[in-house]
Amino acid sequence: MTTTTTNQMAPTTAIAAAPTTATTALADLLTACGSQWAPLARGEAQWDDSQNECMVDLIDYFADEPDGLQNFDSSDWVNLCECYTYDLIKRYNTQTKDVKALFDQYCDAIGATSALEALEGYTVEDPDDMATAMVNCAMTYGAQMLASDLWPDR
């Protein structure tokens, strides 16, 4: 005895979902909002004052999941992305100029008149402690700048 079954499916209409930031490239979002970081995100060869390897790393890190940048409203670089001290020290040693540039912008943004004032609340017992704290503040601030460009009303 042979049984034959036929799988008949009812016709369906595809409904296109509105694109969300989670499925849209960070470069496209930064371009759409007119961010100063858009050329950097698009990988354009023309570099200017926005050239910063730390920002390149942030853009690369969140290229496919830009919504992750919103987490920097409640957390920081160390807790979200780079939790090992040796990675922070390596970043500081290889990107010192760029870390300091972002850190200086962070200091200006919070109204700090010195690095020590900006690092109030951090335990700084040796130069490595200061370097890791500066990287954390700089990278967190960079991520917050990207998020502010994407979601100015957040």
**Residue 90, Cβ neighbours under 10 Å: how many?**
14
Mean pLDDT over all residues of the chain?
Answer: 85
Q: Which two three-digit tokens encode residue 15?
A: 């409904």
Q: What is the pLDDT of residues 75-100, one digit of tens each?
A: 999 999 999 999 999 999 999 999 99
pLDDT in tens, 53-68: 999 999 999 999 999 9
- pTM of the full structure: 0.81
Rounded Cα–Cα distance for residues 53 and 65 (Å) = 19
CA atoms within a 13 Å half-sphere pointing along the CA-CB vector of 60: 7
**Tens-digit pLDDT profile for residues 99-126:** 999 999 999 999 999 999 999 999 999 9
55 closest CA partner among 33, 30, 32? 30
Contact 148, 109 (CB under 8 A): no
